[in-house]
């Protein structure tokens, strides 16, 4: 390895350590190895790290697999998982794609060994988040972006977008993003056919992680498939070549798919049954049967809840083009989830598109394709808010790719003080907002639910990050490190400011490097 | 020639360039025939689907259009005077050759056939438009696909409504205008004027296009050719394009005694809007921002939000594209005339459009947003060509949303007809008539202006009804109903229902008893003791 390579590697190691350090300081958790009955308490649920059904559902499957050696949930675990509990063949099962739970099992076991199984389960997600930061840097390097600009892009993605809040808990987004970025990196870094089997495996693996990944991976899949074909002009003829090596590499999707079908068959009795299409159980009565939840309202009849088999769901039923106007508004401009309020800095990535179009059109095509699919699909989704959530969590893969775009923009305008100042201001704001979400809670209701919530609780309910700020000021903080070791030595608000200062401090130093060293390498 | 390489484990197919070139030439030559064939197939399948589905006659207006056409050839008083003054006459005139066939009237085919032909013509014009702008084949196909795979377009081309006819004539009018800008051939100007004239006889949107197109003709002739040339072009264009409007004024003068009867008469849009304003539901009036929002939503619901935004981006790129002549760019913007027209019409209170969630909890006239469908398709086709390096991306994203529009069967125009205010479920009233009237002598007195849907859905011949268009029958029946009408269908206590208005002023109404009451109308029947004096001429 030459000196330049060594410096790059050193920077990557420092970057990874810093990012993992901050994520570790923010990761949510409680000390202890909770048993099924303990999990059903406010301490672990609403007031603790397993606050919402997505992380509960995935953690429940991990717990069930490790502790009960079963795909079917025991009654306490089923109660713990409601209101997003699956129902198949008269048994309670997971409603979530199984990939995440399987991937974090080693984390659960290691965490259990150290007396903190829940934190051990969450930490692999932080690890994936760091890997995503590294991949952003590596992809930006393919575009000849300046090294500092690439590092800045990684920091922006990890700490200046809602990706931060979802890098410290048990959600699928960082793993999905990792699979997208790694496929992206492999395809654009290596031109030969040998990467194709790996890419196909990554694409196939993404489906058990989260079913919509099938669509986000599609631009990568098409790009990979086209590599098996070529068309060139040769004197007076066109030569169309079909490379069978590339086509045969498709076989490699079999392994992840076999696992997926096996899981479906064991859990639901049908290899082709998607968990998302299972009947849902919202509540369980004293006898352990599905029942009518207290907050169900009057819009659905009782049989819908007490006999879940009557529910009819389809894999694409929740995606409606009619929702798109509202969906786009929610993701981009709404105060409860909009990017403009939560991570305005990522908009800067859009300005890279003209450069990419001119110089890296294939790259632009795949990158914008994934972003487009991501935005369009979740704009059509019946619940664009993502339930109770912090920011627009569904767009995390887009934040990652737009961060690559930011690296390009920073490289192009490295010596433009005005633009760097704008980046700095937006960075500070975005870090401030997202650190708030990371160390407090993702339990932010959509604006549409606030009125009924106020009627229910009798108190004013906030639905923006203001809710997180109030929570923090009231002493609410869910960081494992803080609640375990620092509670007596520092107050939550100071802890928040310390984290924000550390991130902004490092970000500022990187940005200064961009300014002073920017043009030396020549941008993009 | 095909060769296999063991080293690279691949096959190579070598095709001589001249063969590719020949194939390309054949495809280019035959492409229009292929497009027409595909459009015919799609059009017929869509018509059949919506006919079987039972939604082909869901629009209240569709049934009224069919009845207007039918009254020209059948009823107590037939003839061209039945064309009336509420709607412009061309769609009804085009029905006349087929509407006399019972099944064509009852199924709506008489009205749908012109929409289907207009769909076909629109597709061809759209393709030709992009050819005129020198857009590549791929761009033309993308635009065509976006237009013909729009579920709202497919539905509206299957029903007896005026949208597709208007889209076809307006797009053709702008196409020939742009062509005239490029070629300077007077025949193109005449063709443009002809299609714009047709559009002025379909809907009032065409009148606005006439003004816009007139401005564009003036702009080009005056600034490029001088005053004299401008005078000649303007006279030629406006004489031909404006003749329809002049004839319409004349018609109103001859039949109703007032050239502006269509605009200010009791059944005019203005009268309807005045009532809505009085009821406090004309929220767009004198609110430009809200008018803009309402129409933009209507456009996005009709043509998909993403495709609309992509089309808008295409407009921006097109405006600044210096590779296209400035005057051609300006002329092409004539495609956006419906946007300006509809926003202004909403602002001035001449039009009403309800978007669910934005202006109340129902849909009404949301189909107006469909008028921009060709413009959106054309500008997306243009950017597919302009950004050729990412055309696969544009293609992919467009088809992604189109696929989901089919999967979720998202057609706002159908919802408007089925659950919105544009539809009217009159099956109870019409079902009663269908059950009780056949086999008995006597006419049904009813206001066609209020209850055309009931007349249509009853399945009775037009000659069983006495309505405003039946001349002396109406006059006599409203003075002495007990001599002429065995049944009266009306909205009791609603003075907008002309039958009720007349009945409230006549003593003969005392001879009736209410036999049924339904949400849309009440039915009264002549008491048995008065039946002997009833006038009735049997109509087979």
CB contact under 8 A, B397 and A376: yes
Residue A508, domain member (yes or no): yes
pLDDT mean by block of 10 residues, chain B; 540 residues? 83 92 91 96 98 93 94 92 89 96 96 97 97 96 97 98 98 97 94 98 96 95 88 94 96 92 87 87 94 97 97 97 93 96 95 91 93 98 96 96 95 91 81 92 92 92 93 92 94 90 92 91 94 74
**What pLDDT is stored for residue B540 in this prediction?**
46
Residue A489: pLDDT band by 50, 70, 90 thresholds?
Answer: very high
| Gap between the Cα atoms of A61 and A43, Å rounded | 20
Residue A85, domain member (yes or no): no
Whether the per-residue pLDDT at A522 is higher than 60: the answer is: no
Chain A residues at the B interface, defined by Cβ less than 8 Å, are 215, 218-219, 222, 233-234, 236-245, 316-317, 319-322, 324-325, 328, 357, 361, 364-365, 368-369, 372-373, 376, 379-380
Peptide bond connecting A83 to the previous residue in cis, omega within 30 degrees of 0 = yes
CB contact under 8 A, B390 and A328: no
Q: Can you give the pTM of this predicted structure?
A: 0.92
Whether the per-residue pLDDT at A306 is higher than 80: the answer is: no
CB contact under 8 A, A324 and B297: no
Task: Tell me how crowded residue B513 is: count the other CB atoms within 10 A of its CB.
Answer: 10
Cα–Cα–Cα angle for B88, B94, B100, rounded to 5 degrees: 115
The more confidently predicted of residues B337 and A303 is B337
What is the total count of domains within chain A? Answer: 1
Written as six digits, the tokens of A259 are 């696992």
Compare CB distances from B9 to A244, A357, A373 and report the shortest one's residue: A244
Q: B399: closest CA among B380, B372, B423, B379?
A: B380
Residue A293: pLDDT band by 50, 70, 90 thresholds?
Answer: confident
Those residues whose C-beta lies under 8 Å from the C-beta of residue B421, and which sit 6 or more positions away, are: B354, B362, B363, B364
Supply the DSSP symbol for B354: B
Best residue of B8, B9, B366, B420 to probe chain A, by most A CBs closer than 10 Å? B9
In tens, the pLDDT along A40-66 reads 999 999 999 999 999 999 999 999 999
Residue A228: pLDDT band by 50, 70, 90 thresholds?
Answer: very high
Residue A499, domain member (yes or no): yes
Residue A2, domain member (yes or no): no
Those residues whose C-beta lies under 8 Å from the C-beta of residue B427, and which sit 6 or more positions away, are: B457
The DSSP bridge pattern shows strands A280-281 and A85-88 to be antiparallel
Residue A223, domain member (yes or no): no
Q: A427: closest CA among A352, A512, A523?
A: A512
Domain residue spans of chain B? 35-418, 427-533
Sign of the Cα torsion A222, A224, A228, A233 reads: positive
**What pLDDT is stored for residue B21 in this prediction?**
92
Cross-strand pairs, A241: A230, B12
Compare CB distances from A242 to B10, B297, B300 and report the shortest one's residue: B10
- The answer to whether residues A83 and A113 touch, using CB atoms and an 8 Å cutoff, is no
Compare CB distances from B304 to A240, A324, A368 and report the shortest one's residue: A324
**What pLDDT is stored for residue A285 in this prediction?**
87
In tens, the pLDDT along A109-119 reads 999 999 999 99
A235-249, A429-443, A473-487: which range is least confident on average?
A235-249
Query: Across chain A, what does the average pLDDT equal?
Result: 93
In tens, the pLDDT along A387-417 reads 999 999 999 999 999 999 999 999 999 999 9
Percentage of chain A beyond pLDDT 90 is 82
A464: left (phi over 0), alpha (psi -120 to 50) or beta: beta
CB contact under 8 A, A219 and B393: yes
In B, minimum Cα distance to A361 occurs at B389
Residue A25, domain member (yes or no): no
Query: Which residue has 């990050």 as its token pair?
Result: A465
| DSSP E strand boundaries for A23-90 | 85-88
The DSSP bridge pattern shows strands B443-446 and B465-466 to be parallel
- The answer to whether residues B107 and B160 touch, using CB atoms and an 8 Å cutoff, is no
Residue A60, domain member (yes or no): no
Largest CA distance in chain B: 103
Could you tell me the residue range of the domain that residue A390 belongs to? 315-524
Query: Which residue has 């030595």 as its token pair?
Result: A489
| Gap between the Cα atoms of B384 and A350, Å rounded | 19
Which chain B positions have a beta carbon within 8 Å of A368's beta carbon? 390, 393
CB contact under 8 A, B397 and A373: yes
Q: B454: closest CA among B483, B471, B474, B430?
A: B430
Which chain B positions have a beta carbon within 8 Å of A245's beta carbon? 8-10
Residue A56, domain member (yes or no): no
Shortest distance, CA A233 to any CA of chain B (angstroms): 9
Which chain A positions have a beta carbon within 8 Å of B14's beta carbon? 234, 237-240
> Any CB–CB contact under 8 A between B2 and chain A?
no
Whether the per-residue pLDDT at A503 is higher than 90: the answer is: yes
Q: In b/e form, how buried is each residue of A207-241, taking b as 16+ CB within 10 angstroms?
A: bbbbbbbbbbbbbbbebbbebbeeeeeeeebebeb
Those residues whose C-beta lies under 8 Å from the C-beta of residue B91, and which sit 6 or more positions away, are: B65, B69, B111, B114, B160, B162, B165, B202
Whether the per-residue pLDDT at A297 is higher than 60: the answer is: no
Task: Tell me how crowded residue B84 is: count the other CB atoms within 10 A of its CB.
Answer: 23
**What pLDDT is stored for residue B84 in this prediction?**
81
Q: In Å, how far are A78, A106, A111, A284 from A81, measured between CA atoms?
A: 5, 21, 21, 10
User: What strands, in cross-sheet order, belong to the sheet with B485-490?
Assistant: B465-466, B443-446, B485-490, B522-526, B512-517
B493: left (phi over 0), alpha (psi -120 to 50) or beta: left
């Amino acid at each position: 390895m030459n000196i330049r390579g060594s410096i790059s590697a050193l920077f990557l190691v420092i970057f990874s350590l810093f990012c993992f350090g901050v994520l570790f300081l923010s990761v949510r958790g409680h000390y202890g190895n909770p048993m099924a009955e303990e999990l059903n308490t406010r301490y672990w649920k609403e007031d603790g790290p397993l606050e919402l059904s997505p992380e509960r559902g995935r953690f429940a499957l991990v717990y069930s697999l490790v502790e009960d050696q079963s795909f079917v949930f025991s009654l306490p675990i089923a109660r713990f998982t409601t209101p997003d509990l699956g129902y198949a063949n008269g048994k309670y099962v997971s409603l979530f794609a199984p990939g995440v739970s399987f991937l974090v099992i080693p984390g659960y076991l290691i965490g259990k060994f150290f007396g903190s199984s829940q934190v051990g389960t969450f930490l692999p997600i932080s690890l994936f988040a760091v890997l995503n930061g590294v991949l952003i840097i590596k992809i930006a390097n393919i575009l000849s972006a300046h090294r500092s600009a690439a590092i800045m892009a990684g920091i922006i993605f990890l700490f200046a977008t809602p990706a931060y809040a979802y890098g410290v808990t048990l959600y699928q987004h960082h793993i999905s993003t990792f699979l997208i970025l790694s496929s992206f990196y492999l395809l654009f870094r290596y031109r030969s056919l040998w990467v194709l089997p790996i890419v196909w495996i990554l694409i196939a693996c993404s489906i058990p992680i989260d079913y919509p990944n099938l669509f986000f991976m599609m631009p990568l899949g098409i790009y990979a498939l086209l590599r098996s074909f070529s068309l060139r002009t040769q004197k007076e003829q066109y030569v169309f070549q079909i490379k069978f090596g590339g086509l045969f590499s498709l076989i490699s999707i079999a392994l992840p798919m076999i696992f997926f079908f096996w899981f479906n068959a064991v859990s639901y009795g049908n290899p082709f049954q998607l968990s998302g299409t299972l009947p849902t159980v919202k509540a369980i009565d004293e006898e352990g049967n599905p029942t009518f939840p207290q907050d169900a309202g009057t819009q659905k009849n009782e049989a819908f809840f007490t006999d879940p088999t009557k529910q009819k769901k389809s894999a694409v039923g929740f995606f409606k083009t009619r929702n798109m106007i509202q969906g786009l508004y929610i993701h981009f401009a709404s105060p409860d989830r909009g990017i403009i309020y939560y991570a305005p800095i990522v908009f800067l990535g859009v300005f890279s598109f003209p450069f990419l179009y001119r110089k890296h059109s294939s790259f632009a095509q795949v990158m914008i394709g994934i972003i487009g699919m991501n935005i369009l699909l979740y704009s059509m989704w019946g619940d664009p808010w993502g339930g109770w959530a912090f920011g627009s969590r569904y767009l995390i893969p887009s934040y990652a790719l737009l961060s690559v775009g930011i690296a390009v923009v920073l490289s192009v305008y490295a010596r433009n003080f005005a633009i760097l100042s704008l980046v700095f201001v937006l960075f500070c704001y975005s870090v401030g907002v997202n650190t708030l979400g990371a160390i407090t809670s993702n339990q932010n209701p959509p604006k549409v639910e606030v009125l009924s919530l106020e009627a229910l609780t009798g108190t004013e309910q906030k639905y923006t990050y203001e809710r997180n700020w109030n929570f923090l000021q009231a002493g609410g903080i869910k960081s494992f490190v803080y609640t375990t070791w620092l509670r007596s030595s520092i107050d939550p608000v100071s802890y928040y400011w310390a984290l924000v200062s550390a991130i902004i401090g490092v970000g500022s130093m990187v940005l200064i490097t961009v300014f002073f060293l920017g043009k030396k390498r020549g941008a993009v | 020639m095909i060769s296999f390489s063991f080293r690279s484990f691949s096959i190579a197919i070598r095709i001589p360039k001249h063969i590719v070139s020949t194939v390309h030439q054949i495809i280019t030559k035959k492409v229009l025939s292929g497009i027409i064939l595909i459009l015919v197939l799609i059009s017929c399948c869509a018509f059949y689907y919506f006919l079987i589905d039972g939604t082909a006659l869901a629009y209240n207006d569709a049934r009224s259009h069919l009845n207007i056409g039918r009254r020209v050839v059948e009823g107590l008083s037939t003839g061209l005077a039945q064309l009336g003054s509420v709607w412009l006459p061309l769609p009804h005139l085009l029905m006349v050759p087929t509407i006399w066939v019972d099944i064509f009237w009852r199924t709506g085919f008489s009205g749908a056939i012109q929409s289907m032909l207009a769909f076909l013509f629109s597709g061809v014009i759209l393709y030709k438009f992009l050819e005129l702008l020198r857009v590549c084949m791929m761009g033309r196909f993308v635009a065509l696909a976006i237009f013909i795979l729009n579920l709202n377009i497919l539905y509206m081309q299957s029903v007896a409504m005026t949208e597709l006819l208007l889209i076809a004539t307006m797009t053709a009018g702008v196409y020939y205008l742009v062509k005239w800008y490029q070629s300077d051939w007077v025949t193109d100007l005449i063709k443009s004027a002809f299609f714009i004239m047709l559009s002025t006889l379909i809907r009032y949107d065409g009148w606005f296009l006439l003004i816009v197109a007139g401005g564009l003709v003036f702009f080009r002739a005056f600034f490029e050719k001088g005053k004299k040339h401008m005078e000649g072009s303007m006279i030629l264009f406006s004489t031909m394009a404006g003749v329809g409007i002049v004839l319409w004024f004349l018609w109103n003068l001859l039949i109703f005694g007032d050239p502006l009867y269509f605009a200010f008469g009791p059944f005019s849009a203005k009268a309807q809007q005045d009532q809505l304003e009085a009821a406090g539901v004309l929220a767009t009036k004198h609110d430009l921002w809200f008018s803009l929002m309402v129409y933009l939503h209507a456009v996005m619901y009709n043509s998909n939000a993403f495709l609309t935004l992509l089309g808008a981006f295409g407009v921006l790129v097109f405006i600044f594209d210096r590779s296209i002549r400035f005057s051609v760019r300006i002329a092409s913007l004539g495609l956006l005339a419906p946007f300006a027209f509809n926003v202004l019409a909403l602002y001035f209170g001449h039009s009403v459009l309800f978007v669910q969630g934005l202006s109340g909890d129902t849909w009404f006239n949301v189909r107006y947003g469909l008028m921009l469908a060709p413009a959106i398709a054309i500008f997306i086709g243009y950017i597919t060509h302009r950004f050729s390096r990412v055309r696969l991306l544009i293609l992919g994203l467009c088809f992604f949303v189109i696929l989901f529009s089919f999967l979720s069967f998202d057609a706002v125009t159908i919802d408007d007809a089925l659950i919105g205010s544009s539809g009217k479920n009159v099956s109870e009233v019409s079902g009663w008539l269908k059950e009780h009237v056949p086999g008995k002598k006597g006419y049904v007195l009813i206001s066609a202006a209020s209850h055309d849907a009931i007349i249509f859905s009853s399945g009775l011949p037009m000659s069983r009804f006495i309505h405003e268009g039946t001349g002396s029958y109406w006059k006599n029946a409203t003075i002495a109903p007990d001599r002429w009408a065995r049944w009266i269908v009306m909205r009791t206590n609603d003075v907008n229902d002309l039958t009720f208005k007349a009945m409230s002023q006549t003593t003969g109404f005392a001879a009736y008893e209410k036999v049924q009451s339904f949400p849309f109308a009440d039915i009264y029947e002549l008491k048995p003791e008065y039946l002997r004096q009833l006038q009735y001429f049997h109509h087979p």
